[in-house]
Amino acid sequence: MSEGADLGIHPRVALVTGATSGIGKAAALALAGEGFLVLVHGRDATRGAATVREIEAAGGRARFLGADVSDPEDVARLASAAGEVDVLVNNAGFSWFGPSAELDTATFDALFASNVRAAYQLVAALAPGMVKRGRGSIISLDSMAGRVGLAGGAAYGATKAALTAMSRAWAAEYSPAGVLVNTVAPGPVYTGADPELIKQLGDTTLLGRAARAEEIGEVIAFLASPKASYITGAVIPVDGGRTAI
Ligand SMILES: NC(=O)c1ccc[n+]([C@@H]2O[C@H](COP(=O)([O-])OP(=O)(O)OC[C@H]3O[C@@H](n4cnc5c(N)ncnc54)[C@H](OP(=O)(O)O)[C@@H]3O)[C@@H](O)[C@H]2O)c1
């Protein structure tokens, strides 16, 4: 049974992966502010409950769904627990920066499992329902690392470029049925990662600073709103102008 059916009404439902911290949490709060019932996904149930409480304290509605996106069976369970969703935000993932010679194959595979395969699985599971209902929005998190060459970011950047390549193909596949598919490509954002690295990267942007997670979350919420009804197949850089130069 879908979340909407549970409530006996038909709210718009948004599943945000990796919503227990950082950009995902900011997107979850912004989407809840737009009236979505938000399915807050992550691994850490304590931080998940805190995000749900924060949304509820602001007058919104949310529920936590736990799953490890590196495990395909867990991802399948997540898709099934989510039910009918109107908005899917593929945000969960992690980065690895360092000398390419020092990246072991297990970490390389883990990057692609969490950042690429999980999104593919979720879209494969949830987009057909959106097509059937004739509406939906899928927003995936790229990164400026998917566009520009950052020393030490070869594998991570490749996962992000792959996600954007998939998003363009999904736009071609699903948009004729009314499903919007877009990618948001942030520059450096102060979240859980090394703040010194984020600051250094922020210094290279036209605005001379890194972003707050809320500055990305608001763009995600805009793309999920009716205001973005004619945007599909797009990659929206939210990077302080970094990829313009
Ligand atoms: N921060 C940046 O500068 C930046 C820039 C460009 C793009 N991005 C992209 O934006 C997205 C969010 O990044 P962030 O900086 O906000 O990260 P973050 O603060 O580290 O949060 C990552 C989120 O993903 C979840 N997650 C990670 N691995 C998971 C797994 N195996 N299974 C389930 N959940 C998992 C975490 O949940 P739990 O901890 O609860 O498991 C957490 O909610 C990522 O896709 C990242 O590549 C970030």
pLDDT confidence of residue 184 = 98
pLDDT confidence of residue 193 = 77
Active site (annotated) includes residue 190: no
- 134: which 2 tokens? 């004739």
pLDDT confidence of residue 11 = 60
Whether the CB-CB separation of 42 and 122 falls below 8 Å is answered with: no
Q: Rounded distance, CA 244 to CA 110, Å?
A: 31
- Say which of 120, 156, 174, 190 is annotated catalytic: 156
Q: Rounded distance, CA 76 to CA 4, Å?
A: 20
Q: Rounded distance, CA 189 to CA 184, Å?
A: 13
Whether the CB-CB separation of 142 and 223 falls below 8 Å is answered with: no
Q: Does pTM surpass 0.85?
A: yes
Does any ligand 1 atom lie closer than 6 A to the CB of residue 43? yes
Q: What is the β-pairing status of strands 37-42 and 61-66?
A: parallel
Does any ligand 1 atom lie closer than 6 A to the CB of residue 191? yes
Mutation test of ligand 1: which of 17, 107, 143 has the most ligand atoms closer than 8 Å to its C-beta? 143
Question: How many A from CA of 139 to the centre of ligand 1?
Answer: 15
Provide the residue count of the chain. Answer: 245
Quickly count: other Cβ atoms within 10 Å of residue 31's Cβ.
Answer: 29
Q: Rounded distance, CA 60 to CA 18, Å?
A: 18
Atom of ligand 1 nearest to the CA of 23: 16
CA 241 vs CA 207, 218, 221: distances in Å: 7, 17, 20
- Partners of 65 in the β-ladder: 41
* DSSP-derived 3-state class of residue 151: coil
Please list the pLDDT of the chain residue by residue as tens digits (245 residues): 344 434 434 469 999 999 999 999 999 999 999 999 999 999 999 999 999 999 999 999 999 999 999 999 999 999 999 999 999 999 999 999 999 999 999 999 999 999 999 999 999 999 999 999 999 999 999 999 999 999 999 999 999 999 999 999 999 999 999 999 999 999 999 998 789 999 999 999 999 999 999 999 999 999 999 999 999 999 999 999 999 99
- 62: which 2 tokens? 């949310």
Q: Rounded distance, CA 42 to CA 67, Å?
A: 6
Question: How many A from CA of 177 to the centre of ligand 1?
Answer: 30
Does any ligand 1 atom lie closer than 6 A to the CB of residue 214? no
Does any ligand 1 atom lie closer than 6 A to the CB of residue 24? yes
Q: Rounded distance, CA 131 to CA 178, Å?
A: 7
**Domains plus CATH for the chain?**
7-239 (3.40.50.720)
